[in-house]
Chains A and B, each alone.
Chain A
Amino acid sequence: MAEQTASADRPGTAGIPARSAPETRDENGTAVQGATSRTEPAPAPGGEPKPDSAVVRDALGVGIAVGLSGFAFGVTSAGAGLTLLQSCALSLLVFTGASQFALVGALAAGGNPLTAAAGAFFLGVRNTFYGLRLSQLLALPRYVRPFAAQWVIDETTAVALAQPTRRGVRIGFTVTGLTLYVLWNLTTLLGALGAEAIGDTDAWGLDAAGPACFLALLAPMLRTTRERAVAAIAVVLGLGFLPLLPAGVPVLIAALAAPAVLWFEGRRAGRGTAAESAGESGRGTTDRKGTDR
């Protein structure tokens, strides 16, 4: 997979009709030109073709549902004391929900800009790993990547990874990204305007929107004991240090729950498998290295 570059990438044959691509993608002019001029749409490794309309439908479903929740962000942001311009700037420029909520939460609590931004930044780091996966599947030319980067987030990744073909991945990514970007920014504006009109947002229970969003993002991640342990420790650290340290810092300390649990697991696994691995040799690990996807 490492040798897969945009120019060398022509897996399989162009078995799928290429005609319907432009109209679904013409909104992002650069991406369309770059993506379509270079490679014919072709199946990504190992996938059954799926109709474009089905991909678009999936993408719109996610884009609209999550895009509308920008309303909750706009309200929360305005409720936290940010101006209309500041709220909109966050959605336009940051465009990754959890980081935005984290930032306004930290600022509302009186955190200094550095610690507030640090918490938001660490939440955004996961997008790097989405980008790694997407970059292999989208196989975009280098000069398109700076434009595509802003849309590398949870939802576009989820939709794109669910598509069986490269063409589907590209359509899924673009339609989800565009729908979400437009709606998220529009609803941020409406939410912030609405909150200013309402006045006391707490009376309407809108201060619960932020934590509810976090919980909704968190819930699907809590699949195994490992994630639950990390979450539990992080809650204890986050709440325990809240009265003791400046705003924004306790969250950063709570983040240490992740390496701590991994370290603890590593130690346990190290003790448990030391005996077996001595006899087993490295067969299994060399096998695994070759197959990446």
Chain B
Amino acid sequence: MSVWIAIGLTAVGCYLVKLLGLLVPAGALERPLVQRLSALLPVALLAALTAQQVFGDGNGALVVDARVAGVATAGLALVFRAPFLVVIAAAVAVTAGVRALGG
């Protein structure tokens, strides 16, 4: 049930912020500080989420396992400007490979 609550809240919230941008008069949110903050918030959130999902064990503890190798490979693929799907596939394949080898 709580999962459905989270889905409902996220769906409504995410839809409303999308709609807000289309409805408010141009210029209302064009203050430089607001713009800069909105550009930086995803950077902070995505960086933290990436780190947590690489090093978190799901119970609040930090671990180093095969995911580190997989996501490091994804990072390398991004440096070489690989397409999105190749990046994801590389991460999955390397993680599975390292895990199969007992990593």
Contacts and interface: CB of A to CB of B under 8 A. Distances in A.
The answer to whether A and B assemble together is yes
Given A124-B13, A230-B40, A212 B47 contact: no
A128 B29 contact: yes
A108 B3 CA distance: 10
Interface string B3-33: 1111101110111011111111111011001
B5 A113 contact: yes
A200 B50 CA distance: 22
A82 B44 contact: no
A108 B18 contact: no
A90 B13 CA distance: 12
Interface string A121-161: 11111111111111110001010011011101100000000
Contacts of B88: 69, 72, 209, 212-213, 216
Contacts of B45: 98, 102, 119, 122-123, 234, 251, 254-255
A205 B96 contact: yes
Given A205-B97, A209-B88, A250-B52, A150 B21 contact: no
Interface stretch (A31-39, A217-225, A272-280): A217-225
Contact of A89 (B7, B27, B36, B42): B7
B96 A243 contact: no
B56 A217 contact: no
B24 A132 contact: yes
Central interface residue in A2, A212, A234, by most chain B CB within 10 Å: A212
Most central of B6, B24, B58 by chain A CB within 10 Å? B6
Contacts of B96: 203-206
Given A94-B7, A208-B71, A208-B92, A257 B66 contact: no
Given A108-B58, A145-B23, A208 B67 contact: yes
Nearest to B94: A205
Contacts of A171: none
Given A86-B3, A205-B70, A234 B10 contact: no
A234 B36 contact: no
B43 A230 contact: yes
A110 B56 CA distance: 12
Contact of B18 (A124, A136, A254, A255): A124
A238 B51 contact: yes
Interface residues of B, number: 74
Contacts of B67: 207-208, 211
Contacts of A108: 58
A214 B10 contact: no
Contacts of B91: 205, 208-209, 211-212
A211 B2 contact: no
A207 B53 CA distance: 8
A99 B51 CA distance: 16
Nearest to A152: B18
B27 A212 contact: no
A258 interface: yes
Interface string A1-45: 110100000000000000000000000000000000000000000
14 contacts: A1-B27, A66-B84, A120-B6, A129-B21, A133-B21, A135-B26, A149-B22, A205-B96, A208-B95, A211-B50, A211-B67, A217-B42, A235-B50, A251-B52
Given A65-B83, A69-B88, A132-B29, 4 more contacts: A206-B96, A238-B47, A239-B48, A257-B47
Interface of B: 2-7, 9-11, 13-15, 17-27, 29-30, 33, 35-56, 58-62, 66-67, 70-71, 74-75, 78, 83-85, 87-88, 90-97, 99
Which 8 pairs show the lowest CB-CB distances between chains A and B? A131-B21, A238-B48, A205-B96, A205-B95, A254-B48, A212-B91, A113-B6, A93-B11
